[in-house]
Amino acid sequence: MNTSDAPKKKSFLLDELRKQAEGKAPSTQSPLPSESQIRASIDELLWQIHGWLEEVARHLDKLCPPVAHEFRFINLLTFRGLTLESPFVSYRRTRFEEQDLLEQVEFFYRLRGPSDQIIRVQASTADETETRMRVAGLSFETSPQTNEWRKVHAVQFNVRPEIKTDIRFEPDYIKHQIGVRLANVDRLESMYMVFSPAQLGEEALEDLVRLILGEKSTFLKRAPWQMHWRPTRPTLQKKSFRYYG
């Protein structure tokens, strides 16, 4: 036997052991966050949004600033010269597995105009007009208009110069998204925008306030629009409570 073969076999064995050992070495990369950690980070972001909006609401309540938007209700009336009043923020909590999490954060305010508006519609379209006004959240009173035979031929709507507005942040803890519902913010309409949590930093919230005041519409370009969106709900039974602050 040629003894010169021995060190070669030993060297080959060491190389194989070295490769196997290096392949099983613990990874230096940070472990991926667990689902509970992701949910906790989304919940923390929502608390930050809540606190930020609370401060905004306090300032706006003192200022009662004018809002540059014009709101058109079909082709019947237009709201102009509105001011922002009575802003406040609320939140609702829920139980998800072993975690207490925010289920939603809402920002409410009212837009008020200078005076009531009066419109008249034919009796045949009065029911449809009333339904659409209620969907839009408008406040009004109606009075029928009769002819000489006491038959209703038209309906008069006395519309109060007030628009109720609601902005709602709803997290989807399963898909890791946050839906933002805008109701009567820049138009008499409700719509959703769906964000990743990373997209809802302070710059986005500043754009939201500028949208509220009618200064810029940049916020509307920050995420896709969806007419109907609902967060994925866990199948576990839960209790929820609403708090105002």
Q: Residues 99-112: pLDDT tens digits?
A: 999 999 999 999 99
Q: pTM for the full model?
A: 0.80
CA pair distance 116, 32, nearest whole angstrom? 58
Q: Which residues contact 89 (CB under 8 A, 6 or more apart)?
A: 50, 53, 54, 57, 105, 106, 107, 108, 244, 245
- The per-residue pLDDT for 96 is 84
- The per-residue pLDDT for 172 is 95
Q: What are phi and psi of 134, to 5 degrees?
A: -65, -40
Q: Which residues contact 90 (CB under 8 A, 6 or more apart)?
A: 105, 106, 108, 242, 243, 244, 245
Average pLDDT, the chain: 87
The residue-averaged pLDDT of 171-198 equals 95
| pLDDT beyond 90 at 8 | no
Higher-confidence residue: 97 or 187? 187
pLDDT digits (tens, 9 = 90+) for 32-79: 888 999 999 999 999 999 999 999 999 999 999 999 999 999 989 999
**Confidence category of residue 18, pLDDT binned at 50, 70, 90:** low
- Pick from 186, 188, 228: nearest CA to 210: 186
| pLDDT beyond 70 at 170 | yes
Tokens at 113, concatenated: 């105009």
Q: Which residues contact 40 (CB under 8 A, 6 or more apart)?
A: 99, 101
Q: Three-class SS of residue 178?
A: strand
- The per-residue pLDDT for 238 is 45
pLDDT digits (tens, 9 = 90+) for 142-160: 999 888 788 888 999 999 9
